[in-house]
Chain A
Amino acid sequence: MRARLTTLQRVADCLTSGVIRVSEDGYHPNRDQAHRMQLGNGMPVPVGDVKRFSLTVSEYYSIARVVPDARGWDVLRTGYAFALDDREDREIFAYHWHPDVPLSAFLHLHINRGVIDSEVTSQAGLSPALTRLRPDVADAHFPTHHITLGEVARLLITQFGVRPRRADWDTVLRAAEADAMR
């Protein structure tokens, strides 16, 4: 568990000064409720050195013995939500896995209003608050594979121009990706 949290915090450090917080009792085998992990204080955290984007990270996990009678415990991820907002706090996209929410229990991606360039709408005299996606896209759940925080971090750094806070970000993300493959 400590190794998993260390990896997550190092990955988060590549993007933000926000800290990982876990729910009380989050170091022990689960009883009824999922253990919860959150980046920051429940609100999106700014990423990069300019407030162009903010990120929300939530994860659920279980601590259990996958192999009966094994000595060690396994940390199993059981849900997540990674969401990126633009500077107007509009959600751009969100990767979700929440098995306990009916009809959308599978791994999926949401596209939201933040994909619309607010500068263009502003130049056209439109309020960003009034812009809408076409309904089928707005309501769609695009299937994905299991997404990790490391993958989101790499996406933001390499494709969204987020400046990494750590010089060794590529090494950190490679290590996290290797961990996730185990």
Chain B
Amino acid sequence: MVARKARKAVQTLTESGNEPLELPPGVQILTDEEWSEMVDRAARHYLNMSGEEFERKWRAGEFETPDSYPIIRVGMLLGIPFGR
């Protein structure tokens, strides 16, 4: 439901400020909340921790091998520089 609202809202935005925007077929835009749910799902699956806890450790630079499997799979979802 939330995703449907977000997609509808996005279609009213403009891409460059000039052209009406329509999403390509199949592509979805997630809200920040939905994206956080995705991070949480991955963190629990791969590392048995919440997304919130993963993000805290990622920001604090607490993973010894941040680009190793499976840490990087969750880390790539965050879009945040490691240790900053």
Contacts and interface: CB of A to CB of B under 8 A. Distances in A.
Contact of A2 (B24, B30, B75, B82): B24
A33 B28 CA distance: 19
Contacts of B72: 81, 94, 96, 98, 101
A57 B49 CA distance: 22
Given A1-B15, A2-B22, A36-B79, A98 B28 contact: no
Contacts, number: 113
Interface string B43-79: 0010000000000000000000011111011011101
A24 B79 contact: no
B53 to A, nearest CB: 16
Given A5-B27, A33-B80, A34-B79, A23 B21 contact: no
Interface in A5-46: 5-6, 9, 13, 19-24, 26-28, 33-36, 38, 41-43
A60 B21 CA distance: 21
Interface string B25-49: 1111111100100110110010000
Given A23-B35, A94-B69, A104-B67, A33 B79 contact: yes
A83 to B, nearest CB: 7
Contact of A79 (B35, B45, B76): B76
Interface residues of B, number: 39
Nearest to A94: B69
A100 interface: yes
Interface residues of A, number: 43
A68 interface: no
A43 B16 contact: no
A20 B27 contact: yes
B41 A6 contact: no
- Which 5 pairs of residues, A with B, have the shortest CB-CB distance? A100-B81, A42-B38, A58-B76, A6-B24, A42-B42
15 contacts: A2-B21, A13-B26, A19-B27, A21-B29, A22-B30, A23-B79, A24-B31, A26-B29, A42-B38, A42-B41, A43-B42, A73-B15, A94-B72, A98-B75, A112-B69
